[in-house]
Amino acid sequence: MDETLGGVRVGTDLVSVGQVAESVARFGDRYVDRIYTAHEISCCRGTPAVVAAGLAARFAAKEATVKVLRSVGHQPDWRSIEVRREPAGWCRLSLSGEAARMAEEQGISELAVSLTHEGPMAAAVVVAVCAGDEE
């Protein structure tokens, strides 16, 4: 889902915590290191279930960001979209590399993210302020 209202874009995504847990169990560090940054991995510690929930929420945030970037065909490196957790507990997005270039091309000046997980599912919502969408 991706809606544009004036200069605002919204992207959202839903990820199965169980499927992320299966990926970690099946592919281990190859899965984790191809998708998540060192900071994101450091934020997801604890039991396997807690780790999977945190990673699933972050994957949802990355996919929601891809939606507001409106990439056509091309998939930026997952690690170029990073969820940064601030000491106070809230999260923000940090883009680098190709994701940052795509955001600049789209005129996106600000991004905000919210993560959640409950039971078997994790979700994220990303809001982008996009100068390019202003009429």
27 scored as a contact of other proteins (CB under 8 A): yes
Structure-token pair, residue 37: 């940054």
99 scored as a contact of other proteins (CB under 8 A): no
Cβ-based nearer residue to other proteins, 86 or 118:
118
Give residues with Cβ within 8 angstroms of 40, minimum separation 6.
55, 58, 82, 83
Q: Please select the residue that binds other proteins; options are 3, 34, 39, 49, rule is CB under 8 A.
A: 34
106 scored as a contact of other proteins (CB under 8 A): no
- In angstroms, give the least distance from the CB of 135 to other proteins: 29
Q: Count residues contacting other proteins (CB under 8 A)? A: 19
Which one of the spans 1-9, 14-22, 42-50, 88-96 is the region binding other proteins (CB under 8 A)?
Answer: 14-22
Give residues with Cβ within 8 angstroms of 120, minimum separation 6.
16, 17, 18
126 scored as a contact of other proteins (CB under 8 A): no
Integer Cα distance of 39 and 85 in angstroms: 8
24-60: burial string, b at 16+ Cβ within 10 Å, e else: beeeeeebbeebbbeebbebbeeeeeebbbbbbbbbb
By CB under 8 A, name the binding residues for other proteins: 15-16, 19-20, 23, 26-27, 30-31, 34-35, 59, 63, 66, 73-75, 77-78
